[in-house]
Amino acid sequence: MSEQLRTGAPASPESTEKQKPVEVNFFKLGGTWDMIFRDNQKIGTGNLDDDALKEMQIKMGCFSGDEQGEIAAYREFSLELYARFQSTAAAEKDVGEHLSSWAHATNMSMPKRGIRDLQRALRAGEHTVSDYIVPEDIKNLIRGPFIPLFSGDSSHLENEITAPMVATLLQRSIREPHKPLVGGQGTDTADMALLQLYDVFTYDTDLPSLILAGANRSHVEFASDAPRNFVHAAKLANRDLPPGGYWVFQENLYSASDVVKIDPLEDRPIEGQTTFHSPHQKNVSILSALKQYGPAQWDARKAPSPEHVIHKVTAENLYDALESIYNPDLGKKDSVSATLRPGIRNPKHKAVVISTHSLGNTSNGIRDVCIKEAYGGKLIVGISRTLISATNEEYAASLFGVNQNPRELGGTGKMVIYGHKLNSSVANALIVRALIEKLDQTQTQELFTQYAQSRGLVQVLPRRG
């Protein structure tokens, strides 16, 4: 990947000539932003909405009550969804026209000499505030197909829907690398479903960015936050964002590698952020992002070489990989003997992502079963369950100490994988890539470290001895 694409083209003075809307592929992926009210509750409406989804799941036997039958039904349902996504036609109207009835906002145009010139002009009566208000309409920013894959609540974005959806997005980016992917998703799963997988599979490529926005209030509600969020997403599609996944929400641009949902009520800002937060401070304000990245150069984007793992991704292997990962969280206080140890040992679980205490610490029971399973070749990843995650070997109880201890895994060539500062959603996405790529433990550790370095989330282990 070129250095320019990794960091984005540098900002340059804007031309005074009116820019044409940038060509994008826009995907409707569910969420509050486009919901209606029914019986005083918000519900999705449109292609594959909440009602249609449930009807389809019932028809395919997902809720039959037969455990093995349901497992098979969910897998079949996922593949059926993929086929449906491939045949989903774009709306008749271009995305700009489709959204322009509500996706517009206003911005202030400052005089060349800044705030002092504005204040002088206002005091002298030469201008009014309205003279400096610039309307922003989404149809002047982006154009292209509006593809309604899903119209339901984003709480439904579990493996059986996530897999075909991500496969569809990745394949579109390969076919049309000169167009950014823009879309609307719900807030329930924005920090754990689509963006992280897209980011992990594209961070080392020259593919276009995936820029998603959402809202706490539907565009039909009073004081909706949807218009401004979607206008911001469209404006960012005109900037040269580096490859990867991005979440646009309430004046912030979040990297998929460092975003968590913290508050569904917007009643307690943390570091100036509401609803979502970037624990490792990888977010930037929309205004800063628009200044930091220069005009879009999507024509420079290209698909990776045939050897890249992204060409192996299918809805089927994505679903199988997602279903084969076990995610024990030591903060949930599940029984070690009855739940956690059997779950880690389960041969159906090809990989385990453990949310450990503090900096990577575990009990003896967890440590013992991880050693045995890692010795057998299973991918065991340790991350921290804390919000501002970090891992090291400061304590004797650290799970990562097993890699050096000659009485445990030291000298065996086997290892527990070190999760750096990555959260559970990102670690899961990396493990999905490792499983599809058929990486061993050492190669998987290299993948984790390379990705963490690219996102500024690497944790350097102290030298021992």
Q: Residue 121: inside a domain, yes or no?
A: no
Distances (CA, A) of 227 to 177, 222, 239, 281, 358: 27, 11, 19, 25, 40
**Res. 346 pLDDT band, cuts 50 70 90:** very high
Whether the CA torsion 172, 174, 180, 184 is positive or negative: it is positive
Write out the DSSP string of 182-246.
Answer: EEE--STTTTTSSHHHHHHHHTTSBPPPEEEE--SS-TTSTT-SHHHHHHHHHHHTTB-PPSSEE
Q: Residue 271: inside a domain, yes or no?
A: yes
Is the per-residue pLDDT at 183 higher than 70?
Answer: yes
Q: Is residue 261 domain-shared with residue 396, that is, in the same domain?
A: no
**Res. 106 pLDDT band, cuts 50 70 90:** low
Question: What is residue 123's predicted lDDT score, i.e. its pLDDT?
Answer: 72
In this predicted model, what pLDDT tens digit does every residue of 112-157 receive, in sequence order?
Answer: 555 566 566 657 766 554 444 456 899 999 999 999 999 999 999 9
Q: Which of 268, 300, 332 is the last residue before a domain boundary?
A: 300
The rounded distance, in Å, linking the Cα atoms of 336 and 149 is 41
Q: Is residue 263 domain-shared with residue 230, that is, in the same domain?
A: yes
Tokens coding 230: 């979607």
Cβ-contact 144, 26 below 8 angstroms:
yes
The rounded distance, in Å, linking the Cα atoms of 199 and 258 is 11
**Res. 111 pLDDT band, cuts 50 70 90:** low
Is the per-residue pLDDT at 9 higher than 80?
Answer: no
* Percent of the chain whose predicted confidence (pLDDT) is above 90: 85
Q: Residue 437: inside a domain, yes or no?
A: yes
State the CATH number of the domain containing residue 228: 3.40.50.1170
- DSSP lists the bridge partners of residue 43 as 36
Q: Is residue 293 domain-shared with residue 342, that is, in the same domain?
A: no
Q: Is residue 209 domain-shared with residue 337, that is, in the same domain?
A: no
Q: Residue 417: inside a domain, yes or no?
A: yes
Mean pLDDT of the chain: 92
Question: What is residue 38's predicted lDDT score, i.e. its pLDDT?
Answer: 96
| Overall residue count recorded for the chain in this entry | 465
Look up the pTM and report it. Answer: 0.92
Tokens coding 80: 């059926």
Is the per-residue pLDDT at 219 higher than 90?
Answer: yes
Tokens coding 149: 């894959």
Residue 284 phi, psi (nearest 5): -135, 155
Q: Is residue 12 domain-shared with residue 89, that is, in the same domain?
A: yes
Residue 55 sits in which domain range?
3-102+138-300
Is the per-residue pLDDT at 175 higher than 50?
Answer: yes
In this predicted model, what pLDDT tens digit does every residue of 418-430 receive, in sequence order?
Answer: 999 999 999 999 9
Q: Is residue 150 domain-shared with residue 235, that is, in the same domain?
A: yes
CB atoms under 10 Å from CB of 138, counted, come to 28
Look up residue 440 and give its amino acid: D
Q: Which residue has the tokens 């706490």?
A: 216
**Res. 11 pLDDT band, cuts 50 70 90:** low
Q: Which of 266, 300, 334 is the last residue before a domain boundary?
A: 300
Is the per-residue pLDDT at 254 higher than 60?
Answer: yes
Q: Is residue 370 domain-shared with residue 274, that is, in the same domain?
A: no
Tokens coding 260: 């968590």
**Res. 14 pLDDT band, cuts 50 70 90:** very low
Is the per-residue pLDDT at 339 higher than 90?
Answer: yes
Burial class (CB in 10 A: 0-12, 13-18, 19+), 72: middle
Pairing label, strands 276-277, 260-261: antiparallel
Cβ-contact 210, 245 below 8 angstroms:
yes
Q: Is residue 42 domain-shared with residue 89, that is, in the same domain?
A: yes
Give how many domains the chain has, as a whole number: 2
Q: Residue 178: inside a domain, yes or no?
A: yes
Q: Is residue 274 domain-shared with residue 417, that is, in the same domain?
A: no
Q: Is residue 158 domain-shared with residue 250, that is, in the same domain?
A: yes
Pairing label, strands 284-285, 379-384: unpaired
Question: What is residue 107's predicted lDDT score, i.e. its pLDDT?
Answer: 63
Beta-sheet strand order (sheet of 351-356)? 325-326, 351-356, 379-384, 417-418
State the CATH number of the domain containing residue 418: 3.40.50.40
Q: Is residue 236 domain-shared with residue 334, that is, in the same domain?
A: no
**Res. 298 pLDDT band, cuts 50 70 90:** very high
Q: Is residue 225 domain-shared with residue 271, that is, in the same domain?
A: yes
Among the residue ranges 29-43, 94-108, 207-221, 229-243, the one predicted with the least confidence is 94-108
Q: Residue 62: inside a domain, yes or no?
A: yes
Q: Residue 37: inside a domain, yes or no?
A: yes
- Among 393, 384, 319, residue whose Cα is nearest residue 80: 319
CB atoms under 10 Å from CB of 251, counted, come to 16
Q: Residue 116: inside a domain, yes or no?
A: no
SS3 159: helix
Question: What is residue 425's predicted lDDT score, i.e. its pLDDT?
Answer: 98
